[in-house]
A = this chain, B = another copy of it.
Amino acid sequence: MSDVVLINPFEVEAGAEEAAIAYWERAAAHMRAQPGFVSTALHRAIGPGARFPLVNLATWRSPAAFAAAVASPAFRALTQGEAARFPHHPGLYTVIRT
């Protein structure tokens, strides 16, 4: 299977954006070191009122590589305290039309 794209929209309350970005930075630092990681880019909405003020787009070599990275005890320890604070809707995707 070719690369897969993680698209992870985050719901972020007003005033919590900096905390959400700091949370993303900690998680991204862990993910960058995992086998099969290719790239990541945190996107911020340019205007107010976006349903998802932050969206992470990342590329992984395979679904299995991503699954292993998020299943690791280190990632769980790193995220479990805060994940609920920023409801998010991760999914793995491939491109079907351009």
Contacts and interface: CB of A to CB of B under 8 A. Distances in A.
A50 B95 contact: no
Contact of A24 (B4, B63, B97): B97
A97 B25 contact: yes
B97 A42 contact: yes
B9 A43 contact: no
Contact of A94 (B28, B40, B44): B44
Contacts of A97: 21, 24-25, 28, 41-42
Given A41-B95, A47-B92, A55-B93, 7 more contacts: A4-B46, A21-B96, A41-B98, A42-B96, A43-B95, A46-B94, A51-B89
